[in-house]
Amino acid sequence: MEAGDGGDRDRVAPRLLVPVTGPRALLPVAVADVTTEPLALEDGSGRKLARLLIESTRVGAPGAVPEHVLPPSLLVLGGRRSDALAALLGAMPDLAPAPEDALAPVLVPLGRRPRDYTGKVRVALDPALPAGEAARAILRHLLETMERNLPGLREDLDPEFLHDFRVAVRRTRSALGQLEGVLPAPTVARFTREFRWLQETTGPTRDLDVYVLELPSLQQLLPGGARRSLGPLARLLARRRLETHRGLVRDLDGPRFARLLAGWRAFLARPSPRRPRGAPNALRPVHALAAERIGKLFRRALREGGAITAASPAADLHELRKTCKKLRYLLEFFQSLLDRDEVGRVVESLKGLQDNLGRHQDLQIQVGELLGFARVLAREGRARPPAYLAMGMLVERLREQQAAERQAFAARFEKFARKRNRRRMKRLLARRAPSLEGGGRDGPACLGGTEASSPTEAG
């Protein structure tokens, strides 16, 4: 079984597994019919030397009859190694030792393997690859992530399907905007417009997902008696979320999304033209383009952050947040071209700044949304005075947290902008990864971890 991979919604993680699975549903991915045959190896006096178990397994997809027959396996349950046991094992060459990972062989006939899905960006690029081909490889990977999450998103199995889908859409939009001159301009303009629509149509449901998930932690900001008064808010969020998800599914089942998906898939499947028109950077080596674009965004982040003072409006911090997010995406896209250790240190300082900026923006949006929810409850007459008092107290707590994040900004930005980090970025862009896979023996650095859930994901 794997978390979040399609199936019956009622099969949710038991309470004891919630710390491991989080909000993910625990769903079946395979059915195994296992027949066991116990054996005992004895000496001439009847003394048992070893106990063995022969396992015969048939595998099938959930809901289907198990039809795939696995090779029988032999498991030694107990006893000591002896010449007799070695002779017995040698006489049964068709029996393979039972694998340590019992799940992997079960998934193989179904074309699966454990942990074969990740929302992270993992694309190995050759530094000399033309930038146009590299962009298509990255965008194909992101399209696969979207398509992988669509069934669970439609069926509303858990909120992470929509989250991963939206992150892939946002990364796609960022790639289209940041890899300038790599793909034909008319194509970029068309799909930039369509993916912006897709981001907007999925936004309301994701926002409400986050509010529903965060409500328990928001309640902890209030005194014990006031926490119980947020019941009307919880019911409003649940009702609104159900309504927006139904609207989202209608959009995903509509002709505009079908055209977007088919057109984008067809474009990415076509081979790159030998003489691309309207894409002056398409034939440049991808490493050169990556270094240029990452360096440009890094300098922009330094410039924007350095101009922020205590009197700067919140909009300035939000612009810096968007720049940092674009920089993070480029580091994800091209991580296989960069030195693993250096890029990890740069991302660590960037992530600290992103967390601060994101939290500041999220708190500002949450305050406005909570006030809007209070107005809706008042208009509908669905709450009593204690609910409004509790929501008012919650708004004040959130404003206090936002002020604290604003105060912490200077230190976070100073750590990101310090000379050591600038020199590190310079070395990062001047030196290629030690191998094609990036980062030496361990393969590509995985920078695209799960983004923090937040009700504001624009940018």
Q: What is the pLDDT along the chain (459 residues), one digit of tens a residue?
A: 333 344 444 444 566 777 777 788 888 888 889 898 888 877 777 777 778 788 888 999 888 888 888 888 877 776 665 676 677 667 777 777 777 777 788 888 888 888 888 888 999 999 999 999 999 999 999 999 999 999 999 999 999 999 999 999 999 999 999 999 999 999 999 999 999 999 999 999 999 999 999 999 999 999 988 999 999 999 999 999 999 999 999 999 999 999 999 999 999 999 888 888 889 999 999 999 999 999 999 999 999 999 999 999 999 999 999 999 999 999 999 999 998 888 888 999 999 999 999 999 999 999 999 999 999 999 999 899 999 999 999 999 999 999 999 999 999 999 999 999 999 999 999 875 544 433 333 333 334 444 544 444 443
State the pLDDT at residue 82: 63
Q: 69 forms bridges with which residues in the sheet?
A: 58
For residue 276, give every residue at least 6 positions away whose Cβ sits within 8 Å of its Cβ, in sequence order, or none: 132, 184, 282, 283
By residue count, the chain amounts to: 459
Asked if 448 and 347 count as a contact pair (C-beta separation under 8 A), the reply is: no
Q: Give the pairing type, strands 73-79 and 96-97.
A: parallel
Question: Which amino acid makes up residue 75?
Answer: L
Q: Sign of dihedral through CA atoms 264, 270, 272, 276?
A: negative
* Segments of 61-121 assigned E as strands: 68-69, 73-79, 96-97
d(CA 430, CA 412): 26
CA 26 to chain CA mean position, Å: 17
Q: Which amino acid is at 382?
A: R
In terms of CATH architecture, what is 131-442? Alpha solenoid (1.40)
Task: Tell me the backbone φ, ψ of residue 444, rounded to 5 degrees.
Answer: -65, 140
Say if CB 149 and CB 116 are below 8 A apart.
Answer: no
DSSP 8-state secondary structure symbol assigned to residue 432: B
Q: What is the DSSP string of 20-45?
A: HHTT--EE---EEEEEEEEEEEE-TT
The long-range contacts involving 400-408, CB below 8 angstroms and separated by at least 24 positions, are: 401/359, 401/363, 402/360, 402/363, 402/364, 402/367, 405/356, 405/359, 405/360, 405/363, 406/317, 406/360, 408/356
The closest alpha carbon to 334, from 306, 368, 363, 295, belongs to 295
Structure tokens at 414: 């100073």
Quick count: other Cβ atoms within 10 Å of Cβ 428? 21
Distance CA 117, CA 111 (A): 12
Displacement of CA 99 from its chain's centroid (Å): 30
Predicted local confidence at residue 14, as pLDDT: 63
**Domain regions of the chain by residue span:** 30-110, 131-442
pLDDT value of position 382: 87
- pLDDT at residue number 21: 78
Per-residue pLDDT at 81: 58
Residue 144 tokens read as 């696969």
Cα distance between residue 392 and residue 394, in whole Å: 5
Q: What is the pLDDT of residue 43?
A: 73
Judge whether 346 and 438 are in contact, CB under 8 Å.
no
Alpha-carbon distance of 243 to 171, in angstroms, equals 27
Whether the CB-CB separation of 288 and 132 falls below 8 Å is answered with: no
Give the β-pairing of 68-69 and 73-79.
unpaired
Using CA atoms, how far apart are residues 220 and 234, in angstroms rounded to an integer?
Answer: 14
pLDDT of residue 54: 84
d(C-alpha 433, C-alpha 202), whole Å: 37
Give backbone dihedrals phi and psi of 443, rounded to 5 degrees, phi first. 80, -165
